[in-house]
Amino acid sequence: MKLNEALELVKFHYSNYKNDKRPRVKVLDYEYPGQPHQKTYGQRKDLLGWNINYFSNKRYARRAIDEIDSFARLLGAHNQEKYTRIKYFFPEQAKFLRRYMRKHIKEPKRRNWIGLWRKTDFSELMKLNKDSF
């Protein structure tokens, strides 16, 4: 198994889209419950992450998010603290953070160790996320 030192990049078909039918997302949280002030708080487990397709310099965005995330992991940070650090050091990202309802996500794919996209499911993605700590 590959040691993952970065947030997973996942692409999928999103049936509830408004702008992007096939997002590529750097995933921060696979079971995001929402904010306490939202009426759906705790009722859904959504996917939360940055849609890389919206950045003008996609490579820079992926690397910046991963470098800040790697340092936060080194400090033992949880998702909220990681988000706060990324927001502070890379403020341009805030407008591209998205919440995706998992019931509308079809055919999720992630890159394997040689860089090819392959189909996956949420249980595998969550396991990889837990193994990377």
Residue range(s) defining the domain that contains residue 87: 9-131
Three-state secondary-structure class, residue 80: helix
Based on the structure, what is the number of domains in the chain? 1
- Per-residue pLDDT tens digits of the chain, which is 133 residues long: 445 567 889 999 999 999 999 999 999 989 898 888 888 888 888 999 999 999 999 999 999 999 998 888 888 888 888 888 888 999 989 899 999 999 999 999 998 888 899 999 888 888 877 765 4
Backbone angles phi, psi at 92, to 5 degrees: -65, -25
Is position 3 within any domain?
no
Among residues 60, 52, 50, 68, which one has the least CA distance to residue 6? 68
Three-state secondary-structure class, residue 82: helix
- CA atoms within 13 A of residue 61's CA, in its CB half-sphere: 21
Distance linking the first and last C-alpha atoms of the chain: 14
Is position 84 within any domain?
yes
Is position 1 within any domain?
no
Is position 16 within any domain?
yes
Is position 4 within any domain?
no
26: its two tokens: 């750097």
Is position 38 within any domain?
yes
Q: What is the pTM of this model?
A: 0.85
